[in-house]
Amino acid sequence: MSGLAFQAMRPFEVSEEHPLYTVIDGMLCSKDGKTLIAGYCPKPNEAVTIPEGIEIIGEGAFHKSLLGEIIMPDSVREIRASAFDGCTALTKITFSEQLETIGERAFAACSVKNLILPPGLQAVGPKAFYFAGIRWLEFTGETATIGESAFENCASLESVHFHEGLREIERYAFDNTPKLEIVSLPDSLRKLDIYAFGYSYENEEAKAFTMIIGSQLKEVNAQSFVGLNITAFEVSAENPYLSSRDGLLMDHAGRTLIAVPRLTEGTVTVPDGTYKFGYRAFAYCPLVEDILIPASVKCMNRAFEESAFALTRIPTIHVEAGSAAEKWAIERGWPYTVEP
């Protein structure tokens, strides 16, 4: 049974003889007292304490409840989907120190401002804090995965503090967070999916910064950083997959230009030795006007064309005579000059 079936305005009552359910502090629970099925808030904006011994807060247990604060005992290990979805009055959360997972939409649209996630948390589910009012977010433990759209549309989010142990940030995790400024990625991060820090073009006044990338990040592309005011990339020398050259994000061998920092102005000089461009490498750099392409670039592919067309203006490319880039420009009718 799901808590979504109830809108508890008064305490639950269940026969003591019922084989499946019991009531603890007015809340409907499983007979063994380990799963809270449907919660109860006596008055709007009041604090609610989850009974000791509860290990699972069930799906939709407090869906659209008017509670103002939730306090969890350390027995709680799992918060299931939509458990506090739509609790717009919820401004304070005290998590269990033993909490391991937060389910899909568990706290969507809640109004908590400062969020400190517990050290034992392993996974934040998809849309877990979708449209939440969070301003300041801190991970205190080795949370391995931040799910798809977990903090999407958190329009007030200004600061995120990650912790070592984080391995994956899924697509759209921090999409449309226009006030988010400096982001420091932990050394343990291995995957940064597309639009992880997505379309946030309203953050023109946010601070510019250098994106520091640790030793383990492997899966990443230009779309991972769409909404961040990055001036340069700096990659750990210990990273076997990626590198940075003149502030540009490259593969480790320097053969593929993966991403150009969003706040790059004027001219981009592609490093000599580059062979090709990653998907949409230039696409999110509205201030780029000219691109100097060395003869080492042999693959003027769709990745370059799509990224360049996505700019606010079509940049002029500067090429060497007889190069693959010059031939490509002639075939496409692209504006170019031949460098001496």
Which residue's entry shows tokens 């593969």?
A: 251
Q: What is the pLDDT of residue 5?
A: 45
339 or 59: which carries more pLDDT confidence?
Answer: 59
Q: Is 282 contained in some domain? A: yes
225 or 105: which carries more pLDDT confidence?
Answer: 105
Q: Is 175 exposed, middle or buried (0-12, 13-18, 19+ CB in 10 A)?
A: buried
Name which of 47-51, 117-121, 333-337 the model is least confident about.
Answer: 333-337
- Read off the DSSP letter of residue 100: -
Which residue's entry shows tokens 């008055």?
A: 43
Q: Is 61 contained in some domain? A: no
Condensed to tens digits (0 to 9), the pLDDT of residues 12-29 reads 888 888 889 999 999 999
% helix, strand, coil for the chain, step of 5:
5, 25, 65
Condensed to tens digits (0 to 9), the pLDDT of residues 141-187 reads 999 999 999 999 999 999 999 999 999 999 999 998 888 877 778 99
Q: Is 131 contained in some domain? A: no
Q: Work out the average pLDDT over 282-308.
A: 82
Q: What is the pLDDT of residue 184?
A: 79
Q: Is 312 contained in some domain? A: yes
Q: What does the alpha-carbon distance between residue 128 and residue 80 come to, in Å, rounded to a whole number?
A: 10
| pLDDT-derived band at 279, boundaries 50, 70, 90 | confident
Q: Is 283 contained in some domain? A: yes
Q: What is the pLDDT of residue 183?
A: 73
Q: What is the pLDDT of residue 256?
A: 95
The domain tally of the chain equals 1
Q: What does the alpha-carbon distance between residue 320 and residue 300 come to, in Å, rounded to a whole number?
A: 14
Q: Work out the average pLDDT over 84-105.
A: 97
Q: Is 91 contained in some domain? A: no
Q: What angle do CA 79, 224, 124 make, to 5 degrees?
A: 5
Q: Is the pLDDT of residue 113 over 90?
A: yes
Name which of 9-23, 103-117, 248-262 the model is least confident about.
Answer: 9-23
Nearest by Cα to 219 from 197, 192, 183: 192
Q: Work out the average pLDDT over 47-55.
A: 97
Condensed to tens digits (0 to 9), the pLDDT of residues 325-338 reads 999 899 888 899 99
Q: What is the pLDDT of residue 100?
A: 98
Condensed to tens digits (0 to 9), the pLDDT of residues 209-231 reads 899 999 999 999 888 988 788 99
Report the chain's mean pLDDT, rounded to a whole number.
90
Name which of 8-12, 47-51, 199-203 the model is least confident about.
Answer: 199-203
Q: Is 328 contained in some domain? A: yes
Question: What is the residue range of 330's domain?
Answer: 265-340
Q: What is the pLDDT of residue 6?
A: 55
In the chain, % of residues over pLDDT 90: 70
Which residue's entry shows tokens 């073009």?
A: 201
Q: What is the pLDDT of residue 127?
A: 98
Q: Is 87 contained in some domain? A: no
Contacts 24+ apart (CB under 8 A), 44-53: 44/68, 44/89, 45/89, 47/71, 47/92, 49/25, 49/73, 50/76, 51/24, 51/25, 51/27
Q: What is the pLDDT of residue 25?
A: 93
Q: What is the pLDDT of residue 199?
A: 66
In the chain, % of residues over pLDDT 70: 92
